[in-house]
Amino acid sequence: MLNVAEAYARVLSTTRPLPPETVALPAAAGRLLAQDLVADRDFPPFHRVAMDGIALAHAAWAAGQTEFAIEGSQFAGAPSVPLQSPLAAREVMTGAVLPPGTDTVVRYEDLSLADGRATLLIPPPEKPGTHIHPRAADRRAGELLLPAGTRLGPAELAVAATVGAAQVQVQRRARLAVVSTGDELVEIDATPLPHQIRRSNAYALQALLQPAGAEVSLFHLTDELSSLRSGLTNILAAGFDAVVLSGAVSKGRADHLPALLQELGVQEIFHEVSQRPGKPLWFGARAGGPVVFGLPGNPVSTFLTACRYVRPWLQACQQGLAPPLPPLALLTEEVVFRPQLSYLLPVRLHVDAQGRRLATPRPTGGSGDLAGLIGADAFVELPAGESVFPAGSAWPAWEI
């Protein structure tokens, strides 16, 4: 039986880059850029006025002139109008093109303006250029702005917009099939009989994996073998990058999936991990097709193993590299766990006044205690081989 680290390494070894697709820029938020974006012109593309005030020739001011006739105004978005007289000035607004013939801007706060003339109230600077954002000061035309592989956040989208990238190539989102199994499950809008329960794992997995960048399709299959075989055959051939199964991977008489998956050409990579919850975890891959996660069906097992293995696999595919291991958190109380298994313990995280990341245990009533996850926002991974984990000890804390 593999330990958690070995299982995790085998899962990550199957990640692969996703092909690109072209989308409209607004739809690219949060996506991974699949092309280089370069400056289509200088940044800024002209000498830009950086303060409201007047623009003038520094030489006249430095020669002792303190009063300037105002020839007119230069607004942002208007074509530039040259200064007619080197002894005059032009009113300018922030963002406007600097009028040709001027090289210095004086703020309104530093002058008085009356009867079409400006009187300067401060001495001239040593050199021209005050309150001017020079052309190409930020980037030059043709310069690389966003290399392929950049995640497109708000600042990156703004840069893409300013170079006219109305459509961009981005990495395609991973396509995941989330498949619940079991005759005991009914739809969420149904009234279950005493021996039935409503589907919940599929919706938890969808809510976990969609924010991580996946396109998730939901399916449900019964335990009847021929129906299970037919449904899986179709799903495995449907072009998904991964199939995430919930249930039917343990040793019960209705747990057909391990044998059936191999019958359908999915090569087993491992089955069972020395962890609780989630020991029966199954993982495999089909040549030329998807990877397959067979998650245990109990809801706590399903959710925590998806957090520990499926989401990192997805993130590695989306980002091109394995996600870093999570930061440590300090237990706020002692935990005793005697089985020789890694323990995925739900916790509530908070930061104390000293900036320490603290984890307060919120143990569930077992792997079937779905409501026990309410209030937990992470789980700490406690290693096998120890049975007492004292308060104040530090362990990796995976946010959920």
Per-residue model confidence as pLDDT tens digits over 201-234: 899 999 999 998 899 999 998 888 898 999 999 9
Identify whether residues 296 and 337 lie together within a single domain.
no
pTM for the model: 0.81
Identify whether residues 243 and 339 lie together within a single domain.
no
Q: How confident is residue 355, by pLDDT bands cut at 50, 70 and 90?
A: very high
Identify whether residues 68 and 127 lie together within a single domain.
yes
Please report the pLDDT score of residue 366 as a whole number. 78
Last residue of a domain, one of 279, 297, 319: 319
- Label residues 215-246 b or e (16+ Cβ within 10 Å = b): ebeebbbebeeeebeebbeebbeeebbbbbbb
Domain at 103, CATH number: 2.170.190.11
Per-residue model confidence as pLDDT tens digits over 98-145: 999 999 999 999 999 999 999 999 999 999 999 999 999 999 999 999
Identify whether residues 180 and 162 lie together within a single domain.
no
Per-residue model confidence as pLDDT tens digits over 290-303: 999 999 988 899 99
Identify whether residues 279 and 345 lie together within a single domain.
no
Please report the pLDDT score of residue 129 as a whole number. 97
For residues 265 and 233, what is the distance between their CA atoms, to the nearest angstrom? 10
Domain at 394, CATH number: 2.40.340.10
Identify whether residues 273 and 187 lie together within a single domain.
yes
Identify whether residues 35 and 147 lie together within a single domain.
yes
Identify whether residues 277 and 164 lie together within a single domain.
no
Identify whether residues 295 and 277 lie together within a single domain.
yes
Give the residue-averaged pLDDT of 83-111.
Answer: 97
Residue 236: give the domain boundaries. 4-18+173-319
For residues 229 and 260, what is the distance between their CA atoms, to the nearest angstrom? 7
For residues 327 and 331, what is the distance between their CA atoms, to the nearest angstrom? 13
Q: How confident is residue 69, by pLDDT bands cut at 50, 70 and 90?
A: very high
What's the per-residue H, E or C state across 235-259?
HHCCCCCEEEEECCCCCCCCCCHHH
For residues 323 and 398, what is the distance between their CA atoms, to the nearest angstrom? 12
CB atoms within 10 A of CB 356: 13
For residues 84 and 100, what is the distance between their CA atoms, to the nearest angstrom? 9
Identify whether residues 120 and 93 lie together within a single domain.
yes
Please report the pLDDT score of residue 254 as a whole number. 58
For residues 25 and 116, what is the distance between their CA atoms, to the nearest angstrom? 46
Last residue of a domain, one of 82, 105, 133: 133
Identify whether residues 283 and 213 lie together within a single domain.
yes
Domain at 152, CATH number: 3.90.105.10
162 neighbors 37 (Cβ within 8 angstroms): no
For residues 9 and 26, what is the distance between their CA atoms, to the nearest angstrom? 35
For residues 10 and 12, what is the distance between their CA atoms, to the nearest angstrom? 5
CB atoms within 10 A of CB 189: 6
- State which H helix or E strand residue 228 sits in: helix 225-236
Q: 336, 304, 53: which is closest to 201 by C-alpha?
A: 304
Handedness of CA 202, 205, 210, 213 (dihedral sign): negative
Total structural domains within the chain = 4
pLDDT at 272 > cutoff 90: yes
By three-state DSSP, how is residue 324 classified? coil
Last residue of a domain, one of 133, 154, 184: 133
Domain at 212, CATH number: 3.40.980.10
For residues 288 and 306, what is the distance between their CA atoms, to the nearest angstrom? 23
Identify whether residues 162 and 29 lie together within a single domain.
yes
**Beta strand extents in 287-392 (DSSP E only):** 291-295, 328-331, 335-336, 342-351, 357-361, 378-382, 388-389
